[in-house]
């Protein structure tokens, strides 16, 4: 007998930022999840919001796990494989905790806004006070729950602060429809993304974007 596991009937606890992302997605929409891992978000959205979901994942093991669970997922990465998609092909394109690991974040962000009517991006904030402090006091490259790698083997090659991200979005003419700041455990802060406090206090941000 084949040991395929079905998509769990009761979605297990989603990562904090994924739960927030899920809340931003309208029911029965078309969603492309880039860097979908083992398909947690897609499976959750398929069950709770009946979305038409697609995924892209770098690791072959992740892709195979997704397809085994009945999700439509291909092997690929944000840097190389977004160009093939037509403009406006999806209602939402999701990129969670991945932008900072791409080789060309600016082009990737442009692609997201082109392919999706909306893009949802979550990213760690390098302006977070603990990050600043560890560099300032310890004089070491910061490590935290969100940035857990040592400097020599981190995939996060293009880290930025909330403020950096906002300015890139503005430069590309991308509108920020919603922004949610989170602490390191994924709990929401009531802070305006543009504020100094947001850039200092939040460990990560989730943004709902749309193209001009």
Among 84, 137, 152, 190, binds other proteins (CB under 8 A): 84
Among 20, 42, 58, 73, binds other proteins (CB under 8 A): 73
Task: For residue 182, give Cα distances in angstroms to 15, 52, 60, 185, 212.
Answer: 12, 28, 30, 8, 26
Which residue in 174, 152, 155, 43 sits closest to 108, CA to CA?
A: 174
Is position 27 an interface residue for other proteins (rule: CB under 8 A)? no
Q: CA-to-CA distance for 104 and 112, rounded, in angstroms?
A: 12
Site string for other proteins, 90-109 (x = CB under 8 A): x-------------------
Q: How far is the CB of 79 from other proteins (least distance, A)?
A: 14
Q: How far is the CB of 114 from other proteins (least distance, A)?
A: 13
Side-chain half-sphere exposure of 195, counting CA atoms within 13 A: 13
Cβ distance to other proteins smaller for residue 87 or 167: 87
Cβ distance to other proteins smaller for residue 36 or 123: 36
| Element housing 61 (H / E) | helix 60-68
Cβ distance to other proteins smaller for residue 16 or 116: 116
Q: What is the DSSP string of 153-175?
A: T-S--S---HHHHHHHHHHTT-E
Is position 154 an interface residue for other proteins (rule: CB under 8 A)? no
Q: CA-to-CA distance for 12 and 208, rounded, in angstroms?
A: 24
Is position 2 an interface residue for other proteins (rule: CB under 8 A)? yes
How many residues touch other proteins under the rule CB under 8 A: the total is 27
Among 8, 26, 48, 74, binds other proteins (CB under 8 A): 74
């Amino acid at each position: 007998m084949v040991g395929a596991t079905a998509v769990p009937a009761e979605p297990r606890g989603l990562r904090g930022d994924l739960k927030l992302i899920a809340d931003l997605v309208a029911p029965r929409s078309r969603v492309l999840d880039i860097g979908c891992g083992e398909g947690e978000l897609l499976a959750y959205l398929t069950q709770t919001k009946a979305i038409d979901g697609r995924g892209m994942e770098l690791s072959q093991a992740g892709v195979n796990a997704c397809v085994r669970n009945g999700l439509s997922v291909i092997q690929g990465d944000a840097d190389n494989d977004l160009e093939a998609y037509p403009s406006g092909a999806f209602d939402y394109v999701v990129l969670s905790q991945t932008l900072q690991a791409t080789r060309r974040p600016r082009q990737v962000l442009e692609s997201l806004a082109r392919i999706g009517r909306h893009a949802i991006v979550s990213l760690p904030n390098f302006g977070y006070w603990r990050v600043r402090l560890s560099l300032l006091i310890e004089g070491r490259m910061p490590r935290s729950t969100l940035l857990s790698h040592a400097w020599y083997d981190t995939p996060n090659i293009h880290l930025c602060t909330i403020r950096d991200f906002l300015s890139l979005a503005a430069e590309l003419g991308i509108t920020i429809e919603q922004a949610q700041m989170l602490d390191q455990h994924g709990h929401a802060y009531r802070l305006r993304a543009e504020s100094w406090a947001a850039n200092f206090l939040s460990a990560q941000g989730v943004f709902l974007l749309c193209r001009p």
